[in-house]
Amino acid sequence: MVFGVIAMFGSFVILGKTLMMTLAQMMTDSPSSSSSSFSSFSSASSSPLSSSSSSTHSEQVLQVVVPGINIPINQLTYFFAAVLISGVVHEIGHGIAAIREQVRFNGFGIFLFIIYPGAFVDLFSTHLQLISPVQQLRIFCAGIWHNFILALMGILALVLLPIILFPFYYTGVGVLITEVAEDSPAIGLRGLFVGDLVTQLQDCPVTNVQDWNECLDTIAYESQIGYCISASTLQHLSFPVRAYKRLDGSTECCNNHSVTNVCFSYTNNFNKHLHTCLPIRKAVKATQVCRTNKDCKQGSTFCTVPSLDIHTRLIKVRHPPQIDTLYIGHPLNLHYTVSVTSFVPRFNFLSIDLPVVVETFVKYLISLSGALAIVNAVPCFALDGQWILNSFLDATLTSVIGDNDVKDLIGFFILLGGSVLLAANMTLGLWMVTAR
């Protein structure tokens, strides 16, 4: 009950913050495409909003969800299953609380609102009116409380997943590639394949998915790393070159059609900036990485850096026992076109996709159940928040304000404010998602 009242007022703060962030995004003309946000109807649970659980590009707690636009088509099963389970748990919470407070429970059902599944409970309204406002609060707050508990259980399951799956999968040794998109620049004879275990990106060790993402982010935002190559090796491997500037500002000194050679730049002992065309695989094989010549310990060794445009990186991907993959492109392309998991099967007959399926579903369940709790707590017409507010005012203001009309007027304006705030968030959020 106390949780529900706190959630009701807290939802005002969350919706206000979300609205301000949406307006700020509109002013900068940068609609976000990440997923999140959820809503429900009266004592029935369904919705086009969900809470943000893993967005790396947005700090918004709530964001409008449009299946097929900011929810991938191949994840719609997770989405609708999580919506249905969250709604059912929400209504079960109302039903259990009603039975506890001696209110007759007439029935329970599931419905479909446009494309969103939902659930409802039918309580005997006469019994509801006869019990005290405090008892009513317990019933009306039970739905969002059960959604909150469901989200907490999901978080716990996500944290304990490596332990739960330990007899069948092990973690902490790298990331296992589960999918490589057909248009991925990582595809090739010496590229990445499903089942490869990646243990390192450049000089960045990779033990799990978080390491993979952080390494790619670091590589993307830092300048291109170099490789320590001795003067004798440079002389042996290099080709006669004529360097020229590209339109993007980078320097080219190899044949434009070469797929095996890359232009490198370095500074010699006389502090002169030079360029040389090198066979890329031989140049970076078993060499120390560096930023400057000082990082290269041996004498007459130079830090040679691939001469690429500002957004392109040369990334050495280590996935033993296969030969290292040399990826040239934007690091985010590798992030978006290669799917990985931290779970490695202990036995060959186990699916590499099972942990990904479980993990993805639990994340959707956490996001949507949490969002249903937040949005249903909003003091808005037709949502649980309306009945929570009415019962709260009856329990607290009846002895203070004798005139019921004044109390009802206060409740009406609070409900009007909550309804306008929720409608504004949904309208502007929908515009942000579909604007591009």
Contacts 24+ apart (CB under 8 A), 327-334: 327/185, 327/186, 327/191, 328/185, 328/262, 329/185, 330/220, 331/216, 331/217, 331/219, 331/220, 332/216, 332/220, 333/184, 333/185, 334/184, 334/185, 334/186, 334/216
Backbone angles phi, psi at 98, to 5 degrees: -65, -45
The residue length of the chain stands at 436
Q: Are 34 and 53 in contact (CB under 8 A)?
A: no
Q: How far apart are CA 271 and CA 258, in angstroms?
A: 29
101 tagged catalytic: no
Residue 163 makes CB contacts below 8 A (sequence gap 6+) with none
Q: Which of 117, 139, 141 is nearest to 48 (CA)?
A: 117
Annotated active-site residue in 59, 91, 252, 359? 91
Q: Residue 96 to residues 27, 100, 109: CA-CA distances in angstroms?
A: 46, 6, 15
Tabulate helix, strand, coil % of the chain (nearest 5): 45, 20, 35
Q: How far apart are CA 296 and CA 313, in angstroms?
A: 21
CB atoms < 10 A from the CB of 76, how many? 13
Q: How far apart are CA 177 and CA 174, in angstroms?
A: 10
For residue 420, what is the enclosing H or E element? helix 404-434
The alpha-helical segments, DSSP class H, found in 120-191 are 125-130, 133-164
Catalytic residues: 91
